Amino acid sequence: MNSRGSILVLLATVMALLSILGATLLNVVLLNYRINKLNTESKKAFYLSENGLNESYIAARKLINEAIAYSLEKVEEEMLLHPLNEEEAKNFFSLNYKQYITVNVRNEISTTTNPAVEIRNDIIEFEDEELSLLLRSTYVSENNVVKVTWAELLIGVPDYILVKDGAGTGGDYVEFGKWGSRED
């Protein structure tokens, strides 16, 4: 009778140890799954935040094309009223182009959707025929994983003669400068 009881106790102990081992293994597997899921979600949030910057680039190209068309139209109107030499036409084109961009760039590039893109510059003005915009794109996932990417967007002033002849498009006058990312 004594050996039966000890076998039963030994069996119960082995079962308890196996249960503890199984529970521990299950816990480790679930923890690993959660870590991988968070890592995947973090990467997805980063790429979606970066996509906000790409969309801003596309919006900037569109805005530049609109500014070129607007400025060419203004030069033509001015030439009908007051004949301009080529240098005056270049200056008039450049002035209208810069004005159109600075007035409309914040509305065209900034978004409040997810990812939210904002222009961080307090003052928007051209320096040396180039506008430098500091963009920040923030994406918040369903599980509140926040990723922030930022970039410098550089917008140049087109050459009047080239765009008048149809040689330049919006993509020729915009590019990314410095960029980076961080978690919030």
**Mean pLDDT to the nearest integer, 111-122:** 92
pLDDT given at position 74 = 94
Pair of tokens at residue 83: 């004949």
Q: What is the pLDDT of residues 55-108, one digit of tens each?
A: 999 999 999 999 999 999 999 998 888 887 888 889 999 999 999 999 999 999
Of 104, 109, 75, 97, nearest to 158 (Cα)?
A: 97
CA torsion through residues 6, 7, 8, 13, sign: positive
Q: Under 8 Å CB-to-CB from 51, ≥6 apart: which residues?
A: 115, 137
pLDDT given at position 100 = 97
pLDDT given at position 170 = 66
The model's pTM: 0.80
Question: How does DSSP assign 26-85, residue by residue?
Answer: HHHHHHHHHHHHHHHHHHHHHHHHHHHHHHHHHHHHHHHHHHHHHHHHHHHHHHHHS---
Q: What is the pLDDT of residues 13-33, one digit of tens each?
A: 999 999 999 999 999 999 999
pLDDT given at position 62 = 95
Element (H, E) at 147: strand 146-156
Q: What is the pLDDT of residues 121-162, one digit of tens each?
A: 999 999 989 999 999 999 999 988 999 999 999 999 999 988
DSSP state of 20: H
Measure Cα distances from 128 to 27, 76, 86 in Å. 61, 25, 20
Q: What is the pLDDT of residues 35-53, one digit of tens each?
A: 999 999 999 999 999 999 9
